[in-house]
Structure 1
Amino acid sequence: MAAAAAAASASAASSGGGRRRRVLMFPLPFQGHLNPMLQLAGALHARGGGLVGITVFHATFNAPNPARHPPGYRFVPVGEGLPSADLIPSGSDADFAGALGRINDRLREPFRDLLRQALADAEDDEAAACLVVDSNLRGIQLVAEELGVPTLVLRTGGAACLVAYMAFPALCDKGLLPPASQDKVQLDMPLDELTPLRLRDMVFSRTTTHANMRRCLQDLLDAGSSSSGIILNTFQDLENSDVQKISNGLGVPLYTIGPLHKISSGTEGSLLAQDQTCLKWLDKQEADSVLYVSFGSLASMDEKEMLETAWGLANSQMPFLWVIRHNMVKSSHQMSIPEGFEEATRGRGMVVTWAPQQEVLGHHAIGGFWTHNGWNSTLESICEGVPMICRPQFADQMINMRYVQEVWKIGFEIEGELERGEIEMAIKKLLCTEEGRQMRLRAKDLQDKAVKCIEEEGSSKSAMESLLKRIMSF
């Protein structure tokens, strides 16, 4: 079956007349954006029938490790020597839109020189086909356009998120954004044209100015509408209606080829060292019994939230695997787990600084996932049939949470201040009740659909073949 798929992919790639082509790529240098781009690179390289080469342009900070990728990949650092301290947002309350603007401004000129050089050095039998660029890098895309390189845009978020971004200007024009007040009634106002979203779900950052946020989202939409096509890390059976809204609204070809982590060639792009020992610990646990707790690579909490989370986990009496990044807790001093926690949870809990998340979620022992609802985490959980406890903080996380809770009905939100009693009840609800069991069954149904979409005749497999044909046609 694998051989047949490879042959079919090679046939699709050869629609370019048998020419070797090189795909240029430029990921946004954050973990949640870098991984999908490298997964896409792996998928194109593996399915290109030997005709697709990969060149990854990347910022010098948060750089991918070339040793983790196949021979033949080229990695080109951009912006060596440039200051980068203000380009790396830290914590959930950081100004991400501001950082995105600075990344575009600072890397644009160095990239122009490097791209011009790459085009001049290209061999006749392996010309650059196009640049696949993260949708947040409009400045990088403009450079490619100036030098005559076609662009494809990778959206690392879900289709529903892009639909919400498309609606943002109209909500501003109506006077709904920014919200006139923090009144709960106003913030909970349903947005009829964006069901199931509320006004509060469109407040993507509490630290970025409204003008900067509007400019950031406009650049993102311009990147999509001026490209030769948008690549979406989702699948039709999950977000079909929202995919159609994007197609109608932006008017460019869409390639719904996700879930990317399921079709990539296994290249590993984590910027943090993964603790593999947790997998052996999970081997000793009962099926569907463990709560996996991880809030991604950027989300954060304060010391009080850390304390309540710890004792909520302890008091639940349920097994857990908890990821505590070194910079996860906002504190002026080194933060450690509270006194007495280790003793109270000995034998049924494990704490690590970073975990191999895809392997963890796919482990038979995992019964639920307490997540910040970044799109990668949400999609990975769906693909393994794992229901979720949701604690979104910024950007698209609130949108993803609403779909998990209201549309797919495979999880629920912990709202308001974190409190140990509420946490304990939420964990037991997910792992120990009939309501939680029904969420797990619905999640398993979505898992089945995710599997089918990448098989022969599946929607994502067809979209990947179309994408390869498009790339080879440039």
Structure 2
Amino acid sequence: MEQRKGLRLILFPMPLQGHLNPMLELANLLHHKGFSITIIHTQFNSLNPSTYPHFTFHSIPVALSQAEASTSDILAECLARLLSDNHEPVTCLISDLLFHFTQPVAESLKLPRILLRISAAFSFVAYAAFPLLLEKGYLPIQDSRLEEPVIELPPLKIKDLPVLKTMDPEKYYELVSGLKKETEASHGIIFNTFEDLEGSSLATIRQEFNIPIFPIGPFHKCFPAASSSSSSSSSLLSQDQSCIRWLNSQAPKSVIYVSFGSIAAISEAQFLEMAWGLANSNQPFLWVIRPGLVHGSEWLEPLPSGFLEALNGRAHIVKWAPQKEVLAHPAVGVFWNHNGWNSPLESICEGVPMICMPCLSDQMANARCVSDVWKVGLQLEHGIKRGEIERTVRKIMVEKEGEEIRERIFQLMEKANVCIKQGGSSYQSLEGLVKHILSLEK
């Protein structure tokens, strides 16, 4: 580890599983580069400081739903206290890009702010294009135009645009449209991606934003020992290791791993179609069904009586799994996921083809990249029907199309491994980030 004694970085992650993990992986990377790390965390999904003895933690009494003005005031007070500690001067604040209110707080304290974008560069390009999309009439989305292409953002269709269904869509558009101004006011953006995967989107961002861009991903591969421990200790649900023992008994590349992250939810009808589609595929499957995944159900109540018993050990269901360990297991042949960015990135890193079922926001754009740009997975485009699930599994697991997908994702996996090695694009970008942070020191 390099030593940069007295140089402290403050990191402020959004308290959701898919945001916490990459921020903590980044923290480990920067700590390994010699910086002292302070993590500000909220009462909502609060972290356990004892699992990260090499970091300093400051808790602020804020719930996720608390008003923005109140959060800004509390954050400002916390940062002011940290800045007053002359023994460890603070070099900069690294905050989740979605915490847009941190920009005026940082400016008021004359504290440089760098953003972490935890999703794909391509979806960031789509968000940044919202003013244009509104001007061109793509937004608000009309049901009659879902399949139309977005000419300015190929290969997106209108249905792929990263919108949220809210009670006040105009407010949402206004918020997203302010992204460019707030981003340009920062001192740079860190992306958990790499040049060989998203070079075109990164070039677009560099052209449109006059700030430094640092694609240093995949984070968890840059410093795997630290990130492995951080992902397990930052998990908001208890990871069930029984799935690894079950995978040990399965044939190579035979298992369908199914997981939809920590937020996505599905209807009971969708859940049952998935269950029968998996059962009828005749492939063994590991299914993560977290409590709350199915609307109106606690856990497995919607499954028909005797469903699991009839599969005779061909299925294993857990509430939460150690995902990186699962994807690295030789028995896993395909990953059916919701396309929250951590999932496709981790799948690419292990060379595991994907079945895409995006649920909300940027997941649709991520899925379109998986299926139509990198061509390392297939989308369930025509609804969640058991027959469609069977056909999609068969295409990936046993047909020629699956062989071609596997070959392409293996090539991307190799590029992901190369980019983090000395001289690789992410390695060089990380070195550039360190130099950039040092240049911010007063």
TM-score of the alignment, normalized to the shorter chain, above 0.5: yes
Task: Please say if residues 136 and 219 of structure 1, whose CA atoms lie closer than 8 Å, have aligned partners that are also in contact.
Answer: no
CA distance in structure 2 between the aligned counterparts of 1:328 and 1:215, rounded to whole angstroms: 30
Amino acid at match of 2:139: L
Structure 2 residue aligned with 1:365:
331
Q: Tell me the C-alpha RMSD between the 2 structures.
A: 1.6
Give % identity. 44
Task: Please say if residues 235 and 459 of structure 1, whose CA atoms lie closer than 8 Å, have aligned partners that are also in contact.
Answer: yes
When structure 1 is superposed on structure 2, of 144-153 and 408-417 the one drifting more is 408-417
Amino acid at match of 1:35: N
CA distance in structure 2 between the aligned counterparts of 1:333 and 1:134, rounded to whole angstroms: 31
The alpha-carbon distance between structure 1 residues 255 and 279, as it changes in their structure 2 partners (threshold 3 A), is same
Report the 3-state secondary structure (helix = DSSP H, G, I; strand = E; otherwise coil) of the residue aligned with 2:89. strand
Structure 2 counterparts to residues 70-81 of structure 1, below 5 A: 70-71=53-54, 73-78=55-60, 80=61
**Which among 192, 210, 229 is matched to residue 251 of structure 1?**
210
Task: Please say if residues 130 and 177 of structure 2, whose CA atoms lie closer than 8 Å, have aligned partners that are also in contact.
Answer: no
CA distance in structure 1 between the aligned counterparts of 2:340 and 2:334, rounded to whole angstroms: 16
1:218 shift after superposition: 3.0
Structure 1 residue aligned with 2:7:
21
Report the 3-state secondary structure (helix = DSSP H, G, I; strand = E; otherwise coil) of the residue aligned with 1:301. coil
1:419 shift after superposition: 1.5
Structure 2 residue aligned with 1:328:
293
Q: Deviations over 1:354-399 (max 9, x none)?
A: 0000110111111000010010101000111111000001111010
1:433 aligns with 2:399: yes
CA distance in structure 1 between the aligned counterparts of 2:201 and 2:43, rounded to whole angstroms: 35
The alpha-carbon distance between structure 1 residues 226 and 192, as it changes in their structure 2 partners (threshold 3 A), is same
Structure 2 counterparts to residues 394-405 of structure 1, below 5 A: 394-405=360-371
**Which among 14, 25, 46 is matched to residue 39 of structure 1?**
25
**Which among 139, 149, 153 is matched to residue 177 of structure 1?**
139
Structure 1 residue aligned with 2:247:
282
1:312 shift after superposition: 0.9
CA distance in structure 1 between the aligned counterparts of 2:149 and 2:378, rounded to whole angstroms: 18
The normalised TM-score by structure 2 is 0.94
1:334 shift after superposition: 5.7
Structure 2 counterparts to residues 10-159 of structure 1, below 5 A: 10=2, 19-48=5-34, 52-71=35-54, 73-78=55-60, 80=61, 84=63, 87=64, 102=66, 104-123=68-87, 126-159=88-121
Instruction: Give the ranges of 4+ consecutive aligned residues of structure 1 lying more than 4 Å apart after TM superposition.
Output: 332-335
Report the 3-state secondary structure (helix = DSSP H, G, I; strand = E; otherwise coil) of the residue aligned with 1:157. coil
1:104 shift after superposition: 3.5
The alpha-carbon distance between structure 1 residues 233 and 380, as it changes in their structure 2 partners (threshold 3 A), is same
CA distance in structure 1 between the aligned counterparts of 2:83 and 2:162, rounded to whole angstroms: 41
Q: Deviations over 1:115-138 (max 9, x none)?
A: 111111241xx2100000110111
Structure 1 residue aligned with 2:306:
340
The alpha-carbon distance between structure 1 residues 103 and 293, as it changes in their structure 2 partners (threshold 3 A), is farther
Structure 2 counterparts to residues 242-321 of structure 1, below 5 A: 242-264=201-223, 265-266=226-227, 267-268=230-231, 269-321=234-286
1:224 aligns with 2:180: no
1:19 shift after superposition: 5.0
CA distance in structure 2 between the aligned counterparts of 1:367 and 1:318, rounded to whole angstroms: 10
CA distance in structure 1 between the aligned counterparts of 2:411 and 2:156, rounded to whole angstroms: 24
Higher RCO, 1 vs 2 (CA within 8 Å, ≥6 residues apart) = 1
1:168 aligns with 2:130: yes
CA distance in structure 2 between the aligned counterparts of 1:335 and 1:291, rounded to whole angstroms: 19
1:445 aligns with 2:411: yes
When structure 1 is superposed on structure 2, of 334-343 and 422-431 the one drifting more is 334-343
Structure 2 residue aligned with 1:206:
165
Aligned residues, how many?
433
CA distance in structure 2 between the aligned counterparts of 1:203 and 1:187, rounded to whole angstroms: 13
CA distance in structure 2 between the aligned counterparts of 1:401 and 1:326, rounded to whole angstroms: 24
Report the 3-state secondary structure (helix = DSSP H, G, I; strand = E; otherwise coil) of the residue aligned with 2:358. coil
CA distance in structure 1 between the aligned counterparts of 2:315 and 2:298, rounded to whole angstroms: 25
Structure 2 residue aligned with 1:391:
357
Task: Please say if residues 29 and 222 of structure 2, whose CA atoms lie closer than 8 Å, have aligned partners that are also in contact.
Answer: yes
Amino acid at match of 2:123: C
Q: Deviations over 1:123-154 (max 9, x none)?
A: 1xx21000001101111222111101001000
Q: Any unmatched runs of 5+ in structure 1? A: 1-5, 88-98
Task: Please say if residues 29 and 62 of structure 1, whose CA atoms lie closer than 8 Å, have aligned partners that are also in contact.
Answer: yes
Task: Please say if residues 369 and 386 of structure 1, whose CA atoms lie closer than 8 Å, have aligned partners that are also in contact.
Answer: yes
When structure 1 is superposed on structure 2, of 233-242 and 134-143 the one drifting more is 134-143
When structure 1 is superposed on structure 2, of 188-197 and 289-298 the one drifting more is 188-197
**Which among 312, 321, 326 is matched to residue 355 of structure 1?**
321
Amino acid at match of 1:298: I
CA distance in structure 1 between the aligned counterparts of 2:367 and 2:30, rounded to whole angstroms: 30
1:332 shift after superposition: 5.9
**Which among 402, 409, 433 is matched to residue 375 of structure 2?**
409
Amino acid at match of 2:73: E
